[in-house]
Amino acid sequence: MNLDSKIPSGPIEDKWTRHQFESKLVNPANRRKFEVIVVGTGLAGASASAALAELGYRVKTLCTHDSPRRAHSIAAQGGINASKNYQNDGDSVYRLFYDTIKGGDFRAREANVHRLAENSVKIIDHCAALGVPFAREYGGTLANRSFGGAQVSRTFYARGQTGQQLLLGAYSSMMRQVDAGRVNLLPRREMLELVVIDGKARGVIARNIETGEFETHVADAVVLCTGGYGNVFYLSTNAKNCNVTAAWRCYVKGAGFGNPCFTQIHPTCIPQSGDHQSKLTLMSESLRNDGRVWVPKARGDKRPPHQIPLEERDYYLERIYPSFGNLAPRDIASRAAKLQCDDGRGVGETGLAVYLDFADAIKRDSASTIAQRYGNLFQMYDKITGEDPYKTPMRIYPAVHYTMGGLWVDYNLMSTIPGLHVLGEANFSDHGANRLGASALMQGLSDGYFIIPTTIGNYFGSTSLPKVDSSHDAFKQALDDAKSRTQKMLAVKGSQTVDDIHRRIGKIMWDNCGMARNEDSLTRALAEIPKVRESFWSDVRVPGEGVALNQELEKAGRVADFIDLAELMCRDALERKESCGGHFRTEYQTEDNEALRDDANFCHAAVWEFAGTGKAVRNTEPLAFENVKLATRSYK
In the chain, the amino acid numbered 13 is E
Handedness of CA 534, 535, 539, 540 (dihedral sign): negative
For residue 275, the model assigns a pLDDT of 80
Looking at residue 526, its amino acid is L
- Is this prediction's pTM over 0.85? yes
Q: CA separation (Å) from 314 to 57, 290, 345?
A: 58, 17, 10
Phi-psi region for residue 456, left (φ > 0), alpha (ψ -120 to 50) or beta?
alpha
**Residues in the chain where the model's pLDDT stays below 50:** none
Give the per-residue pLDDT at 75.
Answer: 92
Angle formed at CA 404 by CA 398 and CA 406, multiple of 5 degrees: 135
Between the two ends of the chain, the Cα-to-Cα distance in Å is 41
Cα–Cα distance, 62 to 32 (Å, whole number): 19
pLDDT of the residue at 337 = 97
Q: Which long-range contacts (CB under 8 A, 24 or more apart) does 336-344 make?
A: 336/267, 337/267, 337/293, 337/396, 337/397, 337/398, 338/398, 338/515, 338/516, 339/593, 340/295, 340/314, 340/316, 341/397, 343/299, 344/299, 344/300
Domains of the chain and any CATH numbers: 265-401 (3.90.700.10), 473-622 (1.20.58.100)
Contact 164, 290 (CB under 8 A): no
Say if residue 628 is exposed, middle or buried (CB neighbours under 10 Å; 0-12, 13-18, 19+).
middle
* pLDDT at res. 277: 87
pLDDT at 159: 87
Instruction: Give me the pLDDT at residue 273, please.
Output: 86
Contacts of 283 (CB under 8 A, 6+ apart): 77, 268, 269, 270, 356, 377, 380, 381, 394, 396
Please state, as a whole number, how many other Cβ atoms lie within 10 Å of the Cβ of residue 6: 13
Q: How far is CA 182 from the centre of its chain?
A: 28
pLDDT on residue 34: 98
pLDDT value, residue 43 = 98
Environment class of 132 (CB within 10 Å of its CB; exposed 0-12, middle 13-18, buried 19+) = buried
Q: What's the rounded Cα separation, in Å, for the pair 489 and 551? A: 13
- Confidence at residue 274, expressed as pLDDT on a 0 to 100 scale: 80
597 classed as catalytic: no
pLDDT of residue 461: 97
Predicted pLDDT at 334: 96
In sequence order, what are the beta bridge partners of 606? 620
Q: Which of 109, 154, 330, 373 is catalytic?
A: 330
